[in-house]
Structure 1
Amino acid sequence: MRTCESLRRSLSAGECDQILASLYALDGADSSLAAARARALRVVEEFQAAFSPADDTAAALFSGPGRTEIGGNHTDHQHGRVLCGSVDLDMISCAAPNGLNVIRIISEGYPALEVELDQLLPRPEERNTSAALVRGVAAKIQELGYKVGGFDAWATSSVLSGSGLSSSAAYEVLVGNILNHFFCEGALTPIQIAKIGQYAENVYFGKPCGLMDQMGSSVGGAVAIDFADPAAPVVRKVDYDFSKSGHALCIVDTGSCHADLTDDYAEITQEMGAVAAHFGKQVLRDVPEEQFRAEIPSLRVRCGDRAVLRALHFYDDDRRAVEEADALEAGDFERFLALVNASGISSSLHLQNTWSIADPKQQAIPLALAVGRELLDGTGAIRVHGGGFAGTIQAFVPVEKLTAFKSGMEKLLGPGMCHILHIRPQGGCVILA
C-alpha cells in the first residue's frame, strides 16, 4: 500500500521511470522522462490539494489511453473485424478510496463531478454526460457481483478532443481500472473492463457505440478483434513492435467539425443494414459474400448504388483488417502499409465517408489526404481515421520524411494540427500502487 507521500517519493526517486518510458514511448532523453515524471507528480500533488486525504490513505496512480483505429473502417457495427491500438496519449489520475458512498472526480479544465452510489439505475438527466459514464461503469461492476465504493480522483488528459482517439473510452477505462483496483482486487480483465465501458456508453450515456474503442484503450498494443459474436468478441493481441518499423504514426486534425453529422453516420449503418435485410439478415457479417455479389443487380434497384458500394467496402475492409494483423505478425510492414492504403481508397470511393453531402463545399479530409499523399510521394500510408466525414486522418510516415510531412500538413491546416503518436504496449493500467 502506498500513500500520496510514498507515491511522490517513488516518482521522484525514479522508481517509475521504466513504466513511464514504456507508456509514453520515450526516446531515452532525460528531458522527456523528466517531463513524464513531472506530469505524474503534479497529478499526485493536485489530488492532495483538492481532497486533503489522511496521511495513511491508500492511493494509486492510473492511466487510461486513447486509441487509434488501424484497420476495419466501419466494420464493427456489422459484426466484422477490426485492428486497433492504444496510443501514448492518455488520461492519468491519482485516486484513493474515500470511505463514502460517492465517487468524486476532478478532471482538469472541467467542473467537479460527484456521483452518489446509493442508486445506480440510469438517470435521463445524466445522458451525454461524464456522470452517466461513471454511474454506468459502477453499476455494471456491481451487477457482476462486486461491492463498489466511493473514491476521490484528480485527473488530467492529453487525449486530443475531437481527434477520433476516443477520450470517452479512455475515461471509461480509467474509471474501470480505479474501481477494479480498490474494490475488485484486480479480478476484472482488460476485456471485461472494455465491455463494462461499452455498457456504460450504450445504456447510460446513450451512444450506441461498438466495442472497438474500449477494447483498443483497455487491452493495449495492437489488437485484432472479431465481433462475429458481439457479446463474446474474439480478441488477439498482435505481436509487433511499431517502434522498429521505421515509421511514425501521425494523426492529422483537418479542422473540420463533427457537429451535425449524426445522419451521415446513421446512413452508413442503415444502408449496410438494408443490404443485409435483403437476405433476411440484420448485419452483413451473416451474409456470405458470394451471395451478396450474385445479387448486386437486384440490390442496386432495391437499396441503391451507394448501399451496394458501402457493402462492398465492408467485405473488403473486413478481410483487410485480418490481413493487416497477419502482415504485422509476419514482420511484413510493407504489406501492412499497402493494405492501409487500400483501406483508405476504399473508404473514399466505396464507403464514401470523407465528406458530407449536406455540406459539399467542406472537403477538408479529401484535401488533406491529397496533400498528404503528395508529401509521402509513394511511401508510407494514409487514410481517413475513425468515423469520417470530418475530423482526422491517419498516416504512417517514414521517419526520414516526418519533418517535411508535419511541416507540409501544418502549412495547409495550421500549427499544431499534425500529432506524432506511438502505439503503446500497455492499455489501461495501474501505473504505481
Structure 2
Amino acid sequence: MTRDGVFEAPGRINLIGEHTDYNDGFVLPIALPHVVRVTAARRDDGVLRLSSRQAHGVAEVRVADLVPGAVTGWAAYVAGVVWALREEGHPIGGFGLLVDGRVPLGAGLSSSAALESATALAVTELSGVGLDRRELARIAQRAENEFVGMPCGIMDQSASLLARERHALLLDTRSMETEHIPFDLAPAGLALLVVDTKAPHRLVDGEYAARRRDCHRAAELLGVPALRDLTGAEQDLPDRLARRVRHVVTENERVARVADLLRAGRVREIGPALTESHVSLREDYEVTVPELDVAVEALLAAGAAGARMTGGGFGGCVIALAAEADVEACAAAVRAAFAGRGFGEPECWTAVAAAGARRAGDVPAR
C-alpha cells in the first residue's frame, strides 16, 4: 500500500434526465475531459491539511474533530468525504491533499462532485479501504448532503466515478443499476456544443431545495414512494405541484426514448427530446433564466438539432446537438444573441464523453 498518489475525477454533462435523480428516476450523463486532480499523501498525525491551486489559504483540522460545520468553503467537499467515510466505520486517518481543479466553476458541470469523487478514490485507495465505485458515489453524496448541506441527488457523483469513454451512463437512481450506452458523435458528423452562459446562479441552493420539497410533497399527496412510480403525467394537484409532476414524469420518458435511440445507433434523432426537455424545465419546473432560454432559441434558429439547459438551472450551461459543420455558426448565433440582449459574452466549446475517476496515469476502461 503506497502512501501517496495523484487521483483525478471528471465533471459531467447530463444529456437528459434533469431533476429526476432525487425522485428515484433515470438520468443519462456523460463525463467530461475536464477533471479535478487531487494529490494525496498520508499523514501520521491525524491531521487533514487541505490546499488548492485555485484558492488562497490552507485548511487544517484533526480528522477526529470533523463534524458538519467544522470546515467551510471548497474544503468542506473534501473534508466531508473523510467525515462520511469515518462515520461509516472506515479507518481513514490524516492526509495532506492538494487540489487542482480544471472543471469550470459555477457552470453547472459538477466541479463539487468531481472534487468529492477524486478525494474518495484517493483516501480509500491509499488507506487500503476497498469500496466499489457505487458505494463511493453514495459516500460522496452523503458528504455533500450532510456535511456541506446541499440536498443533491446521486447522479453527479455516479457520473464522475462510473462513466466510460465514448459512452453515456444510463443510471437508475433507485436501484443504482447502470448501462453504458455508446455515445460517439464524430462518426455521425455530429458534435455536442456546450455554451457556458456565464449567467450568475440565482438563489440556486434555495430554489433547488424548494423543487425537491415540491416533488416530495406531490408524491406524499399522491400516495407513491416517489414520482417515478406514477404512470401518468397529469395529476389532480395544485397547479405548481401538478407542473412539477408533469416535468418529472415526462423527463423520465424522454430518458428512456433517448436511450433507445442511442442503443439503435440513431443519435441524430435525439435532438427533439433535448428541446422538449428544455421547454419542460422552463414551463413546468421553472429553473431556467433568460440567458439559458436565449441561448437555446439562438442555437435552434442556427440549425441545431436540439438544445437544452443542463445542470440544476438558474444559470450555467446549455448543450446542443449539431452537425460538426454547423458548430461555429451556432456558437456565433449565441454570441450575437447575447450581445443584442446586453448579456456577457458566453464561452462555447465542444464536449466528448470521457472516462470516470482514476489514478493519474491509469488507462481508463472503455
For normalisation by structure 1, the TM-score amounts to 0.75
The Cα RMSD (Å) is: 2.4
Change in CA separation of 1:246 and 1:116 when aligned onto 2, cut-off 3 Å: farther
Which of 224, 243, 246 is the aligned partner of 1:281?
A: 224
Q: Is 2:45 the counterpart of 1:117?
A: no
Q: Deviation string for 1:159-182 (max 9, x for gaps)?
A: 111111011101100111111221
Q: Is 2:190 the counterpart of 1:247?
A: yes
State the partner residue of 1:372.
Answer: 299
Change in CA separation of 1:391 and 1:100 when aligned onto 2, cut-off 3 Å: same
**Is the CA contact (8 Å cut-off) linking 2:194 and 2:351 kept in structure 1?**
yes
State the partner residue of 1:382.
Answer: 307
Q: Displacement, 1:279?
A: 1.9
In structure 2, stretches of 5+ residues that fail to align are 339-343
State the partner residue of 2:252.
Answer: 318
Q: Displacement, 1:183?
A: 0.7
Q: Is 2:77 the counterpart of 1:133?
A: yes
Which of 318, 324, 339 is the aligned partner of 1:399?
A: 324
State the partner residue of 2:40.
Answer: 95
**Is the CA contact (8 Å cut-off) linking 1:240 and 1:329 kept in structure 2?**
no
Change in CA separation of 1:277 and 1:181 when aligned onto 2, cut-off 3 Å: closer
Q: Displacement, 1:214?
A: 0.7
State the partner residue of 1:203.
Answer: 146
Q: Give the 3-state SS of the residue equivalent to 2:170 in structure 1.
A: strand
State the partner residue of 1:75.
Answer: 20
Q: Displacement, 1:382?
A: 0.5
Counterpart-to-counterpart distance in 2, 1:267 and 1:148: 35
Change in CA separation of 1:73 and 1:117 when aligned onto 2, cut-off 3 Å: same
Q: Deviation string for 1:133-183 (max 9, x for gaps)?
A: 223212332344432122323331111111110111011001111112211
1:17-416 → structure 2 map (5 Å cutoff) = 58-110=3-55, 111-120=57-66, 122-126=67-71, 128-184=72-128, 187-221=130-164, 222-228=168-174, 232-281=175-224, 283-289=226-232, 293=234, 296=235, 298-299=236-237, 303-304=238-239, 306-355=240-289, 363-375=290-302, 377=303, 379-413=304-338, 414-415=344-345
Q: Deviation string for 1:183-212 (max 9, x for gaps)?
A: 126x22221211111010111111111101
Q: Deviation string for 1:49-71 (max 9, x for gaps)?
A: xxxxxxxx854221111011111
By percentage of residues, which structure has more helix?
1
Q: Deviation string for 1:335-367 (max 9, x for gaps)?
A: 322322222232233333223xxxxxxx22211
**Is the CA contact (8 Å cut-off) linking 1:115 and 1:134 kept in structure 2?**
no
The residue identity in structure 1 corresponding to 2:280 is: S
The residue identity in structure 1 corresponding to 2:248 is: F
**Is the CA contact (8 Å cut-off) linking 1:320 and 1:339 kept in structure 2?**
yes
Q: Displacement, 1:288?
A: 3.3
Q: Give the 3-state SS of the residue equivalent to 1:237 in structure 2.
A: strand
**Is the CA contact (8 Å cut-off) linking 1:67 and 1:86 kept in structure 2?**
yes
In structure 1, stretches of 5+ residues that fail to align are 2-56, 356-362
The residue identity in structure 2 corresponding to 1:328 is: L
Q: Give the 3-state SS of the residue equivalent to 2:265 in structure 1.
A: coil
Q: Displacement, 1:262?
A: 4.1
Q: Give the 3-state SS of the residue equivalent to 2:120 in structure 1.
A: helix
Which of 356, 360, 365 is the aligned partner of 1:427?
A: 356
By percentage of residues, which structure has more strand?
2
Q: Give the 3-state SS of the residue equivalent to 2:19 in structure 1.
A: coil
Bigger Rg, structure 1 or 2: 1
The residue identity in structure 2 corresponding to 1:286 is: D
Q: Give the 3-state SS of the residue equivalent to 1:112 in structure 2.
A: strand
